[in-house]
Structure 1
Amino acid sequence: MPRKIIDTLILDLDNTLFDWFAVWYASFKPVYDAIAAVSGKPLDQVEAAIRKVHQARRTSEYTFLLEEIDSLAEARAMGDIRDHFRDALELSRRGRDQNLKLYPSVFPSLWELKKKGTKIVAYTESMGFYSAYRLKRFGLDGVIDVLFSPIDHEIPAGVSVEKLRRHPDEFYQLQVTETRHTPPGELKPNPRVLLDIIKDIGAKIERCAYVGDSLFKDVAMARDVGVLDVHAQFGESQRRPEYSLLQRVSHWTEEDVQREKAITAKGHNFTPTVVLKDSFAEIFMYCDFVKFDEPALEIELEQQSKNAIEIWKKCVDVHQHFNDLEMRIRNFAITVAGALLAAVSFTYQQGLQAQIFDVTVPAGAFLVAAATFAWIGFFLMDRFWYHILLKGAVDHSAKIEKRYADAIPEIGLGKTISEASGNVKILGIKMNSNRRLEAFYAGGAVILTILFFLLLWAKPQPPALNRVSTNPPAAAAKSP
């Protein structure tokens, strides 16, 4: 075939860039064996129960299988199910990490394309969280320009993701590669989804190549769309003996499984345009990769509105974040001042004093001074740090709301809140957020100042145990 000029490379991930089946089998098999042993049920029943959960969650690599499978209902009633499966889960993690690696020529090939300016897009059926984690591990965050994947499944009620994760959230999230989601419930092969991806990134069909390991899901779909179909034959896993386990517990429908079995057993009625037999790097034998020129297209009003809503939602999240920080600072200021004032009461009861240049000063006065200093520090942090950041986020939201007020009337939440906040009256005086903040700290400062001078003027009594009584007890006054 003549060499084709390609400026957009669309990639399947699983078994195209890495051996997904090896990763899946190594991580699933220990858990599968442990479920069968703990439940005591026949394997066909266990597999049916696993498949039921996988189909409900639309994935065959469901993290919370132990929390939902019917076969373990009795075990879950006895305590934390993960304690029963601690060893199996550790074996699963080790197996996953040992097999989670790119095929040998993938990274240098993709890096070469990146240097040429070719647009690299990933399209996978694996859910967003799992795919993003793998790209991070592979060092492909930023090498791949856009990741298209299904939206993540929901977290089961009562399960804490934070307790299960070993690393901070940032470890699992892509920082450079853009992530987008395919329509819910849409699986390969679906030519319409592939066409939407090509349109979404502004590419041209005749300058695209699609690489995938599955004749059924990838190659046939690419041919239907009209892009150059490239079969990653080196990644085929359907003929492995262990593959039957995946088919028995998969989230695929029975129709999907039977159809794939028939294609694998009987072969296919077409020959892929390009076949990569031994390595990913063979693609350079068939294609000339060039720089992708971003199309200078105007964003449609509908898409522009969607983008504005997403940005506005992020601004609202920032509002909430800084507002929460301000509330925490004020609560902490009250707590610190209250603790120091409680200590003042103790020093006063004990009659503790300090002598400074022949002047007797109650010890509590120093604690009040410390409380005043802390109070002023909290005010400065609140008023001239977080409150300014909060106001900046509010002002940015106001700009978005003003611009899209006619197209999206419901977006005026920030304006409504700002107006309501500015109309608050205290003792008949209008008090906006700045004034209320300053009044809060001013009130506290006045109280601390008054207390400081009261302590200076006060004359604490020595403790009762240290006083010398001038009148003898009644019993001692009597003569024997």
Structure 2
Amino acid sequence: MSRKTIDTLIIDLDNTIFDWFAVWYASFIPIYNDILRVTGRPASEIEADIRAVHQVRRTSEYTFLLEEIEALKDIRQTEDIRVRFHDAFEVSRRGRDLNLKLYPSVFRCLWDIKRKGTKIVAYTESMGFYSAYRLKRFGLDGVIDVLFSPEDHDTPAGVSVDKMRRLPDEFYELQVTQVRHTPPGELKPNPRILLDIIKAVGAKAERCAYVGDSLFKDVAMARDVGVFDIHAKYGESQRRPEYNLLQRVSHWTEADVQREREITAKGHTFEPSAVLKDSFAEIFIYCDFGAFDENRKNIDPDELKNTIEIWKKTVDVQQHFNDLEMRIRNFAVTIVGVLVASVGFTYQNGLEATLFGVRYAAGLGLIVAASIVWIGFFLMDRYWYHVLLKGAVKHAGKIEAQLQGRLPSITLGQTISDESASVRICGIKMNSDTRLRNFYILGLVMLAVVFGSLFFATSNRPSLPVTQVAPVPAQSVAPTGGSEVH
């Protein structure tokens, strides 16, 4: 088969990079045997009680099992359960630490992959605290970029975690590796979880590889989402005789247990894309690892479609604001043009106005009014609609940058911005802001010229001749109502 180019490696932890079953069995069996000894009850009853607690807490690794198991209820009322099981705890802890180690070649291989710039993601069903503690112990804090795991279970009432821990909190917490949690109750082989992980880290499914030990949980899930599946066959533990105990006390549902038994007994109907038979190092036979592009953002098909629709709407908004700006400038030119034309009428008819005892041509007032209108249109154009237009252009640019890796042809906004910024007038480069400002400055200069010309202008109209009016001769008017005197 051809080698796959991989920039994101997603790995299961349990039984893939270390023998989780050996760790679990070594730490569980001393506690389990001591419960049987102390209670004297049948194994089937104890296992049922243990499983009930594990299912409530959604994990088969429950630190506070003794504080909650029903079989020890009477003993907890009379004495400290931790003191009673002290020896079993010590054996359990030593067995855990003895088996808590990476498989051969895992540490070296992960570092080699890390140095190539590949993003390494861990996905496990073990609780966050246990997984983080193990990565710290393995020296993988920072080698693993992101850890996805379920949230930790609650602490029983009255139990102090601080008193149980032997080391400072920093020893148990990851300092470099990011920790994220999967949704409560969601377990493998749910393909939606894996798709969400791929999306969360910004990876592309076709450039991911997933390594896991379970054909049922890991390989089948990876195949469902189109990720290159790699079976860590060396980590299979299902065929060990002790594995039956885990199935009887685990948090898995009966349907999960039965389905896994059937797959183990009958085999599977598909072949993994790659199989690591003896060690993790065999992964280099199938994969070429390359650097992950941190600036790349993966988009699923539905999101891609919605993003394109948003981009189209943003372009429509750009066109809308651009149209509004052109209308504003047309209105400004029209209104100012009418006012300037009116100046000619006032000048032709010799209309004047008096202000503070000084006589001015009436057209000067129209020029002042035209200047105020022109400046008003500039303020509305530049600091209202032009700002909105630039915002729409900027938003379109963000969308185009997001789509650059998927749809390189969607660059309209960026192309328009580049062309607009490169416009030269009289050899001087002017962007849209400069061109808009200069347009209104030229209009204002024109009004200033008209104002100055009118202010200093003198009328050349000829004076009207003065007409001489002859005096009207006086007439004698006979008095009325009297007698004439001779």
Alignment TM-score > 0.5, same fold: yes
1:37 and 1:298 mapped to 2: Cα distance?
56
Is structure 2 residue 266 aligned with structure 1 residue 266? yes
CA contact (8 A) 2:53 2:65 kept: yes
Structure showing greater Rg: 2
2:134 and 2:19 mapped to 1: Cα distance?
12
What's 1:63 paired with?
A: 63
1:295 and 1:220 mapped to 2: Cα distance?
30
Displacement after TM superposition at 1:295 (Å): 2.8
2:207 and 2:297 mapped to 1: Cα distance?
18
Is structure 2 residue 116 aligned with structure 1 residue 120? no
Amino acid at match of 1:294: E
- Cα offsets for 1:351-391 (capped at 9, x unmatched): xxxxxxxxxxxxxxxxxxxxxxxxxxxxxxxxxxxxxxxxx
Displacement after TM superposition at 1:50 (Å): 0.2
Equivalent residues in 2 for 1:381-392, closer than 5 Å: none
Is structure 2 residue 254 aligned with structure 1 residue 257? no
Equivalent residues in 2 for 1:313-462, closer than 5 Å: none
1:97 and 1:227 mapped to 2: Cα distance?
34
What's 2:193 paired with?
A: 193
What's 1:142 paired with?
A: 142
What's 2:244 paired with?
A: 244
Displacement after TM superposition at 1:54 (Å): 0.2
CA contact (8 A) 2:203 2:297 kept: no
Is structure 2 residue 18 aligned with structure 1 residue 31? no
User: Aligned with 2:198: secondary structure?
Assistant: helix
1:65 and 1:296 mapped to 2: Cα distance?
45
Displacement after TM superposition at 1:257 (Å): 0.2
- Cα offsets for 1:56-99 (capped at 9, x unmatched): 00000100000000000111111110111000000000000000
1:205 and 1:50 mapped to 2: Cα distance?
39
Amino acid at match of 1:225: V
- Cα offsets for 1:22-58 (capped at 9, x unmatched): 0000000000001111111111000000000000000
1:296 and 1:146 mapped to 2: Cα distance?
17
Structure 1 gap ranges (5+)? 300-480
What's 2:175 paired with?
A: 175
Structure 2 gap ranges (5+)? 300-486
Pick closer, same or farther for the CA change 1:222–1:90 going to 2, 3 Å: same
What's 2:48 paired with?
A: 48
What's 2:8 paired with?
A: 8
Pick closer, same or farther for the CA change 1:223–1:297 going to 2, 3 Å: closer
User: Aligned with 2:125: secondary structure?
Assistant: coil
What's 1:81 paired with?
A: 81
2:28 and 2:292 mapped to 1: Cα distance?
40
2:39 and 2:135 mapped to 1: Cα distance?
35
2:292 and 2:272 mapped to 1: Cα distance?
25
1:225 and 1:266 mapped to 2: Cα distance?
24
What's 2:443 paired with?
A: none
1:55 and 1:248 mapped to 2: Cα distance?
11
Amino acid at match of 1:145: D
Amino acid at match of 1:97: D
Amino acid at match of 2:132: A
Is structure 2 residue 136 aligned with structure 1 residue 132? no
Pick closer, same or farther for the CA change 1:278–1:114 going to 2, 3 Å: same
Identical pairs, percent: 77
- Cα offsets for 1:158-199 (capped at 9, x unmatched): 001011111011110000000000001000001000000000
Equivalent residues in 2 for 1:292-331, closer than 5 Å: 292-297=292-297
Q: CA RMSD in A?
A: 1.1
**Structure 2-normalised TM-score?**
0.61
2:163 and 2:179 mapped to 1: Cα distance?
25
CA contact (8 A) 2:199 2:298 kept: no
Pick closer, same or farther for the CA change 1:291–1:298 going to 2, 3 Å: closer
- Cα offsets for 1:274-330 (capped at 9, x unmatched): 00000000000011000001135599xxxxxxxxxxxxxxxxxxxxxxxxxxxxxxx
